[in-house]
Structure 1
Amino acid sequence: MIKIQSLDDVKHYTQLPVLASVPPLLSGAERSWIRRSGWLKLAAGAAAAVGVIPVIVLILQATRVFDRLIS
């Protein structure tokens, strides 16, 4: 069974021009989830960035990269 998932699929399978397409119809809960998930992704990225900084500092101290660059 062929699934038409995009505008390019419609053009390919029907060989006809597309006059209009229906935008996704989202409920209020779906719209709020999309907004909330965006904020959650931003918070997770910020937490990951803050959490990685001490690890990078420890690695640089253990390898003494800056000491080698100076001398």
Structure 2
Amino acid sequence: MQLDVFSKMMFGDSPKQTAEKEEQEEEVSQTNEEETINYMHIMDQIGSIMNSLDQIKPALKELAPMISAIKNKIM
């Protein structure tokens, strides 16, 4: 049941509406906790990716001339 603006201003929220608002606020806080971003985990993952690229880089330098030769023969 919706109260009009005047009744709400004069008598406040009914206990039922107050309980519903508290439940909604609890649900919102629970979803916010689930959606928080763990920046440290993300930074660790980026660090791992960068380390992997540093290890792969020498192999890519060796493969680059072979790939260029194949590309030149095709074109």
Tell me the TM-score normalized by structure 2. 0.38
Query: Which of structures 1 and 2 has the bigger CA Rg?
Result: 2
**Greater helix share, structure number:** 2
Tell me the TM-score normalized by structure 1. 0.39
Structure showing greater relative contact order (alpha-carbon pairs closer than 8 Å, 6 or more residues apart):
1
